[in-house]
Amino acid sequence: MFNLERWQEIFEAIRKNKLRTFLTGLSVASGIFILVILLGIGQGMQNGVQQQFENDATNRISVWTNVTSVEYKGLNPGRRIEMDNRDYNLAINKNKDKLEYKSGVYSRWGQLTTFNKESGSYRVEGVHGDYQFLENETLVVGRYINQGDVNNYEKHAVIGNQVYLDLFKGKDALGEYIDVAGIKFKVVGVYSDPGGEREETRIFIPISTAQRVYNAGDKLRSLAFTLEKHDSYEDALAASEAFSAQLEADLKTKHTIAPTDDRAVNVNNSLENAKKFYDLNKMIRWFFWGVGICTIIAGVVGVSNIMLIIVKERTKEIGIRKAIGAEPWSIIGMILHESIFVTAIAGFIGLIFSLFLLQIAGPFIEMDYIKNPSVDFSVAITTVVILVIAGAIAGFFPAYRAANIKPIEALRDE
């Protein structure tokens, strides 16, 4: 391997056979390039899908009510069901040790909000302090709504990053008063949400304040919970399904709704969606691995093919070398050495180009289901190594055969 004479011999062969070297290299480099880009896009799709599901906590259970659709105990269908604080308290008292986060929600759409001369129309949601985690929100500055705000009917507001940009244009917002539908609220925090702009055009205020300023009594629009974590996905799903079913039954009993009515009370268990997401992610991963492995196989076949042709093309040369006194292993060594060298260099060139492309273009790719395609470096290196080894193995057999045919036959080969 570190025989200088051998290297000189190989470099000479490479230098004098530029086209052959170029074609071999091109096929290896493009194979690696395609593979890495594919894996990158696969990762990008995973990222994209993940983002679609990341808006809210993945184990969130949401409850909202609608009008009844079934006549029950003498009550007509079409009755509007509204939840209130007692429903919320019932749920949390009954499941105290099961719940991780919990919040009631009272929301209003399209509330005109102004600060100085800037204004916008946003959704206002009265929530409990846990809602931050239910919505998977991160605070940029300040704090979230807390229990003190709820207890004291504070006129405090946490605004979305987009609201902040619209109204404050990058100026300091903490402690400023915004005007929401005619009522002054003090900004105590700015949050960001992985769901992006749509999720960041909301204003959160304490639930108690919301019920009071909107004259809603103790009504709630919806409830949101997450359950304590479980070790396995299956356990988590079973627990959350049981909880959802129990909650739905309780609410139906309390509001006198037919058990068969599937419109009046909606309990949405996002863990079921999360399962879809897990499955989808798994499928994407399998798919791209499948495609990747096929690409590697195609690459290996391509490299093998080229090695066969190279050995065939060099049969006469091998015969000459043998006649002159080359030993078989020196010939096998020479062919393999050259091919490993060329495939390795070409492989790394393909790798560098593809990584470079992903690095440059990746962050700009922000489609609905593809986000920041990137590839695990060690995976990419592994593929190059696999291709080089495969090329060497593929080259070995024809080289071995060529080195062992009688020189006189090799010399006759035209």
Partner 1 sequence: MGKNSLHVLKGINFTVSEGEMVSIMGSSGSGKSTLLNILGILDEADEGTYTLDGTLIKNLNEKVAARYRNKFLGFIFQSFNLINYKSALDNVAMPLYYQGVKRNIRVEKAMHYLEKVGLADWATHLPNELSGGQKQRVAIARALASDPKVLLADEPTGALDTKTSYEVMELIQGINDEGKTILIVTHEDDIAHMTKRIVNLKDGLIIDDSIVTQVRAKANSYV
Interface with partner 1 (CB under 8 A): 5, 8-9, 12-13, 16-17, 316-317, 319-330, 403-404, 406-408, 411
Token readout for 364 is 């700009």
CB of 264 closer than 8 Å to CB of 72: no
Nearer to partner 1, 14 or 124 (CB): 14
In angstroms, give the least distance from the CB of 35 to partner 1. 32
Q: Which is nearer to partner 1, 95 or 330 (CB)?
A: 330
Q: Which is nearer to partner 1, 21 or 209 (CB)?
A: 21
Cβ neighbours of residue 227 closer than 8 Å, sequence gap 6 or more: 59, 61, 98, 99, 100, 236, 239, 240, 243
Please say which residue, 274 or 403, places its beta carbon nearer to partner 1: 403
Cβ atoms 104, 127 nearer than 8 A: yes
Minimum CB distance to partner 1, residue 312 (Å):
16
Q: Which is nearer to partner 1, 69 or 330 (CB)?
A: 330
Name the residue with tokens 């009510």. Answer: 65
CB of 344 to partner 1, least distance (A): 22
Rounded to whole angstroms, what are the CA distances from 289 to 33, 247, 278, 348?
Answer: 15, 42, 16, 20
Minimum gap (Å) between residue 29 Cβ and partner 1: 23
* Closest CB to partner 1 among residues 17, 52: 17
Task: Name the minimum Å distance from CB 21 to partner 1.
Answer: 11
User: Strand pairing of 99-115 and 156-160?
Assistant: unpaired
Alpha helices (runs of H) in 214-269, residue ranges in sequence order: 233-254
Compute the least distance from the CB of residue 341 to partner 1, in Å: 17
Residue number with CB closer to partner 1 (1 or 367):
1
Q: How far is the CB of 347 from partner 1 (least distance, A)?
A: 24
In the complex, minimum distance from the CB of residue 330 to partner 1, in angstroms, rounded to a whole number: 7
Q: What CA–CA distance (Å, rounded) separates 83 from 96?
A: 19
Q: How far is the CB of 406 from partner 1 (least distance, A)?
A: 6
H or E segment at 9?
helix 4-16
CA dihedral 186, 191, 196, 202 (to 10 degrees): -30
CA distances from 221 to 82, 106, 236, 404 (A): 7, 5, 26, 84
Tell me the closest approach of the beta carbon of residue 409 to partner 1, in angstroms. 8
Please say which residue, 8 or 147, places its beta carbon nearer to partner 1. Answer: 8
CA distances from 166 to 46, 173, 280 (A): 31, 11, 36
Q: Which is nearer to partner 1, 195 or 333 (CB)?
A: 333
Please name the residue that has the structure tokens 């570190």.
2
Minimal distance, residue 12 CB to partner 1, in Å: 7
Contact 150, 211 (CB under 8 A): no
Query: Angle at CA 104, nearest 5°, toward 101 and 107?
Result: 130
Q: Which is closer to partner 1, CB of 64 or CB of 400?
A: 400
Residue 58 to residue 60: CA distance in whole angstroms: 6
Asked if 150 and 124 touch (Cβ cutoff 8 Å), the reply is no
Q: Provide the angle, in degrees to the nearest 10, between the axes of the packed helices 18-53 and 377-404.
A: 150
Q: Which is nearer to partner 1, 279 or 409 (CB)?
A: 409
Rg of the chain, C-alpha, whole Å = 33
Task: Report the 10 Å Cβ neighbour count for 61.
Answer: 25
